[in-house]
Amino acid sequence: MDAPVIVVGAGPAGLVLAAELRLAGVDVIVLEKLAQRTGESRGLGFTIRTMEIFDQRGLLPRFGDMVTSNAGHFGGLPMDFGVLDSVHQAAKSVPQSTTEAILEQWALELGADLRRGTELLSLCDTGDGVEVEVRDAEGDRQTLTARWLVGCDGGRSKVRKAAGFDFPGTAATMEMYLADIRGVELEPRMIGQTVAGGMVMVGPLGDGVNRIIVCERGTPPQRRDAPPPYQEVAAAWERLTGIDISHAEPVWVSAFGDATRQVTEYRRGRVLLAGDAAHIHLPAGGQGMNTSIQDAVNLGWKLAAVVRGAAPEALLDSYHEERFPVGQRLLMNTRAQGLLFLSGDEIQPLRDVVGELLGYEEVAKHLAGMVSGLEIRYDVGGGANPLLGRRMPHLELVGEDVKTSSAKLLRSGRGFLLDLEDNAHLRGRAAGWSDRVDVVTAVPHGVGANSALAGVSAVLVRPDGHVAWAAPGSHHDLPMALGRWFGPSRNPLD
Ligand SMILES: Cc1cc2nc3c(=O)[nH]c(=O)nc-3n(C[C@H](O)[C@H](O)[C@H](O)COP(=O)(O)OP(=O)(O)OC[C@H]3O[C@@H](n4cnc5c(N)ncnc54)[C@H](O)[C@@H]3O)c2cc1C
């Protein structure tokens, strides 16, 4: 084997997956067909859940001063994300190129073997491993082998096609343009402000660059292998707004559609998919890159545990079980948002009604939870404790000789058991997993200390930050939960 895991694609999903595998001590080769990053601004910023995830890995300082805000929208209708319970706000206007540069640096520092200029051509799942044929940076063909292959190779994924994944859904019905342009002054326009014949949006990106989006109703979808010429975008803009922007300098031009598809399984044999390779949709509400990163964080520690032989292969089934429904809801809400901001006047009454509903806190919470990822609750085995399956809330923690936080405890990529009642018996029950799970005796203090863990005596948190077990109120006992998520104990008596 050249490596236990080969990841195809060094976009956000592939880079995060590679880093997560390395955090868990697993070697990984990342194949990336582009010799250099594209520099495209695509995904602008992070949802609240991604901010929490970057915090748990200590990545936020690498992004410097980010503009954060609770102001957002659902389908172009303004929505306040401040109704959600998080110490973080969404980050605005971090270009995807910056995000990728930072994630690449992180993955490289951790020891990922990134092979730029290397394209996957074909693959074969041999049952006990995967063989891939690649064209390397010198143009030579070679065969690489791994135990597992993960396709993080984007919406047109070759891995998905070559491994025979089903990818049902709906084809694109229309095409929209996007351009980042310099040298023209334009008033900001929120997404959803329709004009006769379509919708146009302007968002300032800083340094005199504006992002514009143009949707001219009736523009048929095209399969493009190259970006549209800027003059095509400027002409559509002028038809819709009457304003000539043809003299602006285009920094990046792109076209995209509303094709909506999701694979029916996230794993076939030894091949798994993450990110856009598993789901495509209209970019609405800034979710695609964020969901892709979160797929990778869900998969990384599980795949690492299986590779290290610490956990059985069955742990990987939970990747599909947990992330497939998240993808389904992503497709559902981007479709709904597309209808709201791309349709014409005929749906104005619907917009008015939804706008009115968003004024109710419960409604805003529900939709903001969906778009931000905060609604996610995995099935971790049942029980009455409301923390089960949810992400561990951010809490500052103090113990006899510890001062830490729930986010800091996750920096290492290991799970942790938080013992809130200095319970030696409980700690003893976790001793057989001490090579995989840290045990901390501490209590919350500061903001939220009294509410988030009220009545809770202990919490087991997975490496991705989700609560796997909590006492009281879990159906399983602690060793059973430890065994399910971290593999068998080293102690034969457990
Ligand atoms: C106009 C636009 C605006 C968007 N805005 C947002 C936003 O605001 N927020 C948000 O969250 N998302 C946004 N998105 C979506 C976001 O860009 C994607 O969801 C995200 O890039 C997916 O990441 P990924 O790692 O899964 O795939 P990608 O970023 O597509 O990365 C795939 C990588 O695989 C490589 N690759 C492909 N084939 C091969 C091969 N055969 N061999 C080797 N390498 C290969 C590619 O070169 C690429 O580097 C937007 C998308 C578009 C188009």
Specify the pLDDT at position 474. Answer: 86
Phi, psi of 47 (to 5 degrees): -75, 170
d(CA 315, CA 300): 11
pLDDT in tens, 371-417: 999 999 999 988 989 999 999 999 999 999 899 999 999 999 999 99
Tens-digit pLDDT string for the chain (494 aa)? 999 999 999 999 999 999 999 999 999 999 999 999 998 999 999 999 999 999 999 999 999 999 999 999 999 999 999 999 999 999 998 999 999 999 999 999 999 999 999 999 999 999 999 999 999 999 999 999 999 999 999 999 999 999 999 999 999 999 999 999 999 999 999 887 888 999 999 999 988 999 999 999 999 999 898 999 999 999 999 999 999 999 999 999 999 999 999 999 999 999 999 999 999 999 999 999 999 999 999 999 999 999 999 999 999 999 999 999 999 999 999 999 999 999 999 999 999 999 999 999 999 999 999 999 999 999 998 898 999 999 999 999 999 989 999 999 999 999 999 999 999 999 999 999 999 999 999 999 876 666 788 899 999 999 999 999 999 988 889 999 999 999 999 988 88
Stated pTM of the model = 0.97
d(CA 254, CA 42): 9
Q: Percent of the chain at pLDDT above 70? A: 99
| Tokens read off for 246 | 């043809």
Residue with tokens 């800027």: 230
**Residue whose CA is at the smallest distance from ligand 1 atom 31:** 11
d(CA 75, CA 191): 8
Helices (H) and strands (E) in the chain, counts: 11, 28
Q: 15: which DSSP letter?
A: H
User: Residue 253 Cα, ligand 1 centroid: separation in angstroms?
Assistant: 15
Closest alpha carbon to 334 in 364, 390, 391, 291: 291
Specify the pLDDT at position 154. Answer: 98
Specify the pLDDT at position 193. Answer: 80
**Between the CA atoms of 126, 132, 133 and 139, what dihedral angle is there, to the nearest 10 degrees?**
-160
* The CATH number, out of the four listed (2.30.30.40, 3.40.50.300, 1.10.10.10, 3.40.30.120), of the domain defined by the range 396-486: 3.40.30.120
**Residue whose CA is at the smallest distance from ligand 1 atom 33:** 9
User: 15, 42, 150, 334: which to mutate for ligand 1, most atoms within 8 A of CB?
Assistant: 42
* Alpha-carbon radius of gyration of the chain: 23
Specify the pLDDT at position 492. Answer: 82
d(CA 72, CA 287): 12
Specify the pLDDT at position 360. Answer: 96
Specify the pLDDT at position 129. Answer: 98
Query: Please, are residues 156 and 165 in contact by the beta-carbon 8 Å criterion?
Result: no
Closest alpha carbon to 308 in 17, 27, 15: 27
Closest alpha carbon to 417 in 379, 474, 339, 369: 474
User: Residue 372 Cα, ligand 1 centroid: separation in angstroms?
Assistant: 19
Cβ-Cβ contacts under 8 Å for 443 (sequence gap 6 or more): 397, 398, 399, 420, 449
For ligand 1, say whether the CB of 40 is within 6 Å of any of its atoms. Answer: no
Residue with tokens 């390779």: 277
Question: Where do the domains of the chain lie?
Answer: 3-169+261-372, 174-258, 396-486
User: 289, 331, 333: which to mutate for ligand 1, most atoms within 8 A of CB?
Assistant: 289
d(CA 404, CA 386): 23
- What is the number of the ligand 1 atom nearest to the C-alpha of 254? 1
CA angle 181, 183, 187 (to 5 degrees): 75
CATH class name, domain 3-169+261-372: alpha beta
Query: Please, are residues 341 and 76 in contact by the beta-carbon 8 Å criterion?
Result: yes
Q: What is the CATH number that goes with domain 174-258?
A: 3.30.70.2450
Cis peptide before 472 (omega within 30 of 0): yes
d(CA 84, CA 214): 31
| Tokens read off for 58 | 């200590």
For ligand 1, say whether the CB of 104 is within 6 Å of any of its atoms. Answer: no
For ligand 1, say whether the CB of 20 is within 6 Å of any of its atoms. Answer: no
CB hemisphere CA count around 182 (13 angstroms): 8
Specify the pLDDT at position 449. Answer: 67
Specify the pLDDT at position 321. Answer: 98
> What is the number of other CB atoms lying within 10 angstroms of the CB of residue 17?
33
pLDDT in tens, 303-318: 999 999 999 999 999 9
Specify the pLDDT at position 426. Answer: 96
**Between the CA atoms of 178, 184, 187 and 193, what dihedral angle is there, to the nearest 10 degrees?**
-30
Please, what's the b/e burial string for 359-386 (b: 16 or more CB within 10 A of its CB; e: otherwise)? eeeebbbebbbbbbbbbbbbebbebebe
3-169+261-372 and 174-258 have identical folds = no
d(CA 255, CA 222): 9
Rama region for 290: left / alpha / beta (φ>0; ψ in -120 to 50; rest): alpha
User: Residue 289 Cα, ligand 1 centroid: separation in angstroms?
Assistant: 7
User: Residue 283 Cα, ligand 1 centroid: separation in angstroms?
Assistant: 11
User: Residue 155 Cα, ligand 1 centroid: separation in angstroms?
Assistant: 7
User: 113, 276, 291: which to mutate for ligand 1, most atoms within 8 A of CB?
Assistant: 276
For ligand 1, say whether the CB of 295 is within 6 Å of any of its atoms. Answer: no
Tell me the three state secondary structure of residue 403: strand
d(CA 207, CA 190): 19
